[in-house]
A = this chain, B = another copy of it.
Amino acid sequence: MSEPGGRADRAARAALTWLAEPGNREVWELVQQAGAPAALDRLLAGDVQSRSLRSAIAARSAAGDARQVAETTLRYAESLGARLVVPADDEWPARVDTLATLEVESRVRVNRDTRPPLCFWVRGALPLGATLERSVAIVGARAATGYGVHVASDLAYGLTERGWTVVSGGAFGIDAAAHHGALAASGTTVAVLACGVDRPYPASNATMFARIAEQGLLISEWPPGAEPLRHRFLIRNRVIAAATAGTVVVEAAARSGATQTMSRVLALNRPAMVVPGPVTSAMSVGCHELLRTHPDARLVTSVSDVLEEVGRVGEYLEPPPRGRERVRDRLDEESALIMEALPRRGALTPEELAARARLELRTVLRRLTLLESAGLVMRAEDGIMLATREA
């Protein structure tokens, strides 16, 4: 086996992701067994089990020599300021290798082919692994509403402010809102693409992608030049699920891609977090359906809810929300009963008050002195009354 991370290993991995789609089970297993260069030799010799893999390789090979293409692509990537990251590298994000354990039942092959990436093409200065170590994925609908955009961008802002990396795709809607929120906080954000890092898709997000490359990372399993074919988004989704400490879905229509990502997250035993929304919004139907059908999916409403899920137990715990804390909430039981018994308007004699509160008169008299000095009740001519009107 050639030296992992050496020139031959890198070139072979680059060639393999051009020859076959990432995540392919057979390719990944060959690489694990024999190393990337030997796996490439076998693939090019047509020595593979799967008929469809063999025919795909043959079709690809008819278009060019895989080793040649890889060399050209590596040089082209270098000229772009992009680099290839392979498992032997220090900056390899080890968490994605847990995909090796992921078993998914599906009718469609791209959903079953969920093996770990062979390599990543990366644009941006930050080290990939360290950047993804404390990261949260924020995903959701392209056709997001103003509400979803607001929440996604707010969450991303708050998470990066607390030192977390945001991870998302590159689409309109929730993906873009998450990146924008992180960028606005001068935080770190990572776009995981389903095409080459030289041509992030959609092109109309170009300004955003340029800022992400400056401030965070653009990464892809596909070599520069690769097109954003539809099935690639499904393959890409497994990386978003596996590379992060947890995933938040902000808005999702029924049966959307976000639902598929969430199944991966749950299968990987990572926190699968869902932001609810108005039940009147079609863009929250997928979110509510996730919460109704997956007992392990967690409803989150804020940055602190998210940190509670992904952070080490206790580290980010915040107290549950409370209504406006009032002096009345801190009263002992008898004083509380007296306050409850007082009418909103008008006064009561201490005797009436005792009857209503079901307390003894002397208890009422003793408590009234304290309640009066606390400014909660006052003595009027016709008896005791509330000192302040309550809403």
Which positions in A face B, CB cutoff 8 Å? Answer: 20-21, 51-53, 55-56, 58-60, 62-63, 107-110, 147, 150-151, 227, 229-231, 253-256, 275-280, 284-285, 288-289, 291-293, 295, 298-299, 301-302, 305, 320-323, 333, 336-337, 340-341, 343, 351-352, 354-361
Contacts and interface: CB of A to CB of B under 8 A. Distances in A.
B299 A56 contact: no
Contacts of A295: 295
A63 B349 CA distance: 13
Given A280-B150, A361-B55, A229 B340 contact: yes
Given A52-B359, A340-B230, A343-B227, A293 B280 contact: no
A56 B341 contact: no
A279 B151 contact: yes
A384 to B, nearest CB: 14
Tell me the number of copies of this protein.
2
B56 A355 contact: yes
Contacts of A56: 354-359
12 contacts: A51-B360, A56-B354, A56-B355, A59-B351, A60-B355, A110-B337, A230-B340, A275-B279, A279-B301, A285-B301, A288-B299, A295-B295
A341 B229 contact: yes
Most buried by B among A56, A62, A107, A298: A56
A351 B291 contact: no
Nearest to A292: B299
A288 B51 CA distance: 50
Contacts of A109: 333, 337, 358
A278 B60 CA distance: 49
Nearest to A361: B55
A254 B63 contact: no
Given A59-B352, A275-B279, 13 more contacts: A52-B358, A53-B358, A55-B355, A56-B355, A59-B361, A231-B337, A255-B321, A255-B322, A277-B278, A279-B302, A288-B301, A291-B291, A292-B305
B254 A276 contact: no
Given A51-B360, A52-B360, A107-B333, A151 B63 contact: no
